[in-house]
Amino acid sequence: MSEIKTDYLVIGSGIAGLSFALKVAEFGEVSLITKSSLDNTNTILAQGGVAAVIMGDDDPENHAKDTHIAGAGLCHKDAVDVLVNEASRRIQELIDLGVKFDAKEDGNFDLAREGGHSHHRILHVADETGRNIQEILIKKVKDHPNIHIYEHHMAVELITDHHVLSNLQSAFNICFGAYVLNEKSGEVHIFHADYTMLATGGASRVYLHTTNPQIATGDGIAMAYRAGVRIANMEFIQFHPTALYEPGAEPFLISEACRGFGGILRNGDGERFMENYDERLELAPRDIVARAIDAECKSRGESCAYLDMTHLHPNKVLAHFPNIASHCQEKLKIDITQEWIPVVPAAHYVCGGVMTNLNGQTSMHNLFASGEAAHTGVHGANRLASNSLLEGLVFAHRAAKRVIEKKRNILNNVTIPEWDDTDVTNEQEWSLIRNNRNELQTIMWDYVGIVRSKVQLNRAVTRMTTLYEEIEEYYRRTRVSLELLELRNLSAVAYLIVRSAMRRNESRGLHFMTDYPEKDDKYLKDTII
């Protein structure tokens, strides 16, 4: 088995991983691994844009205030201040790389407004902002001589002193890289690195219905948890209010920007219902809008709500949302300028993750995290729309700056044992185990969704504990594969979400309990595991 030594190991190829890799590559060799292709990420699906104070009567204090309101009291002030005050510099870097954000005829940016924002501050490239940013970053990464790309390589486990020094992790607590599966050959390689960056993205595939791609299985969060790294606030899972209602198909995101552009939510009788739930109407934060749609559908016995764009100028709608218009026309024969769009909430974004400081450092030495896999403290109990791409940029930059400043090449004398891969999969048993994925997703959707209760959570924890132990036991005596690793990681993430939710007996942001419907300041703190 080969051992690959590198200065920096980057796990993940979204905006956080790619931007980090580009910056540290000026100072050393980078190995960038991704379990699929470089462009299969949540970043590429981001439609709305990037929130940043660039111009006009807006200022970073307004952006910070909006972030704190959306976060329901749990945002870390220092992290939010960093985010909003460093935003313009990171945006300028994207522009310098070649990202062309939409502008008006006068040359100024065509800033959009989304739910929870008090000002127009969303920079965008039509409704495919993430795709444009991702494609430019990928080109830069591919062109850099110090970045070595390993597609279809999946991290199995972080390598710690537990592996290297016979269970002395409590004394040293160091990350040495990762064991990585080459999906095509089936071999597990050692990637030995001075510094490791977890930029593995989200975990919303833990739910039955999600806007996330198949790869969003919480791999970085699960690996960090198994390595004893601190994880925080996993009970706060954001459900995007408006995914296209298309039974039997993968949920397609209908951007927040559609409501920011003037879209109106209606029930089956055509009534505008958000006025019954929040004075901000369709521009309330996502947790409120998602619960409103959920409540409206349940009380009326309807399968979906509707987003009405028909009162808006059709040419402007098509110019701003060409991808959404094309998808609705192709899949459902809906002309969004003439017909209402059927929408339902779907799991979308993990507001918790691997705890980091303001420089991306986790609770384990030489292990960093950024992007959706990280808990920086920015999002609190509910993410403000379009803060995610910005968070990835800002904190990946700070992490890169930190590791560049630190001394390197101090761990090269460590001997890392080869991966022990001697057992053979029992195919008949695997056919039973793989069914656990659907069961896991169904449990999470039914019992740990938009609205929760103690009864539901108790049922979930009982069933998830059994699944978790069953999958772990099977994993220990089986040769690894992509499908098994994803199932194992999903079970760990689901377990973290349920255990975290059990510890918060209040309703705050994205965590709404029917038997504890009010906020309780006793819980005005992070849930840390």
| Paired sense of beta strands 231-232 and 237-244, if any | unpaired
- pLDDT confidence of residue 421: 75
473 by Cβ neighbours in 10 Å (0-12 / 13-18 / 19+) ranks as: exposed
Low-confidence spans in the chain with pLDDT less than 70: 1, 165-171, 407-412, 423-428
* Residue 243 contacts residue 253 (beta carbons within 8 Å): yes
Per-residue model confidence (pLDDT) at position 127: 84
Catalytic residues: 286
Both tokens of residue 510? 């994205």
Bridge partner list, 174 = 365
- Cβ density class 158-197: b for 16+ within 10 Å, e for less: bbbbbbbeeeebeeebbbbbbbbbbbeeeebbbbbbbbbb
Question: Cα separation of 346 and 274, whole Å?
Answer: 18
CA distance from start to end of the chain: 34
- Per-residue pLDDT at 115: 83
Cβ(397)–Cβ(88) below 8 Å: no
Predicted local confidence at residue 285, as pLDDT: 87
Residue 166's pLDDT is 57
**Predicted pLDDT of residue 169:** 45
Q: Look at residue 232 and give its three-state secondary structure.
A: strand
Residue 115 backbone zone (phi > 0: left; psi -120 to 50: alpha; other: beta): beta
Q: How far is CA 363 from CA 94, 176, 301, 368, in A?
A: 30, 14, 47, 9
DSSP reduced 3-state for 372: helix
Return the pLDDT at 410: 56
Tell me the domains of the chain and their CATH numbers: 3-197+376-405 (3.50.50.60), 237-348 (3.90.700.10)
Q: What is the dihedral of CA 433, 438, 441, 442, to 10 degrees?
A: -120
**Helix residue ranges per DSSP H, 35-75:** 60-70
CA atoms within 13 A on the CB side of 60: 12
Got the DSSP string for 67-91?
HHHHTTT-S-HHHHHHHHHHHHHHH
Q: At 62, list the tokens.
A: 């307004």
